[in-house]
Amino acid sequence: MKHLSHAAALLSAVVLGAGCGDRPTSPTASLVPSFSNGRSGSKHGFGFNGTVSGFPTGVVFLTGGGSYDASTASNTIPSETFVHSGGGFRCTADVGQGPLKGCAAGEGVRWDTAQLLASTTFKCTGSDAAKPAATSDHAVVLLADFYRAGDGIDESFTAQMIVSETDIAPEIPGNQNLWVQGVGCGSAVVHFSN
């Protein structure tokens, strides 16, 4: 019995000592993670689902989304930008031109982002005049890597793409709010959040 009371007293002292030595449970300024790269900005989320075409050959279906900070966008490649986005893609008709040249109907698995671009010029068809587009709160310009099933972790193609809440080519009938370089424009279901 005497050993039991000594053991209980020793255990109480250890628990009390450990409790007094604990650090505070609320975070301090040095423990709060920082996601800023030194530039002010805000994060935006987006999601989309659509099909693009318009050039002589090729139709591509895309879906995906992610988040980005427009203030970090840069046309200097490579640059560190804040963007985390990706999704699925499939060539539904052979692409015979541009950066996705060689993507055959039925090929394509996924895409992810190489960099957030500040701006680009784009064409919806081969004969279309080049038009400007810029990353903003309601549009994102990406340099994206596209992967086919047999290529593993090595990108099969790299091309620019635009996802926008609004029509990027109002002179063309319909709503053109999705674009892939060398394939064309199309209509997509698009959502942005701020």
Provide DSSP, 66-82: EEEEGGG--SSSS----
Q: Residue 89: what pLDDT?
A: 97
Please give the tally of structural domains in the chain.
1
Helix or strand or coil: residue 10? helix
Q: Is 69 within the bounds of a domain?
A: yes
Query: Contact, 108 vs 137, CB < 8 A?
Result: no
What pLDDT does residue 42 have? Answer: 87
Residue 2 belongs to a domain = no
Report yes or no on 84 lying in a domain.
yes
Distances from the Cα of 173 to the Cα of 120, 134, 176, angstroms? 22, 22, 8
Q: What pLDDT is attached to residue 76?
A: 97
Reference 164, options 34, 70, 77, 96; nearest CA is 70
Q: Per-residue pLDDT tens for 7-54?
A: 444 334 433 343 444 433 333 333 333 333 334 468 999 999 999 999
154, part of any domain:
yes
Let me know if residue 10 belongs to a domain.
no
Range of the domain at 79: 43-193
Other C-beta atoms closer than 10 Å to the C-beta of 84 total 13
Rounded mean pLDDT for each run of 10 residues along the chain, 194 residues in total: 43 39 38 38 92 97 98 97 97 98 97 98 94 97 96 94 97 95 98 90
- The pLDDT, as a whole number, for residue 152 is 86
Q: What pLDDT does 190 receive? A: 98
| 23: in domain | no
For residue 8, tell me if it sits in a domain: no
Distance CA 113, CA 116 (A): 7
Per-residue confidence (pLDDT) for residue 194, from 0 to 100: 75
Closest by CA position to 58, among listed 177, 173, 157: 157
Residue 41's pLDDT is what? Answer: 64
Determine, yes or no, domain membership for 4.
no
Q: What is the pLDDT of residue 39?
A: 44
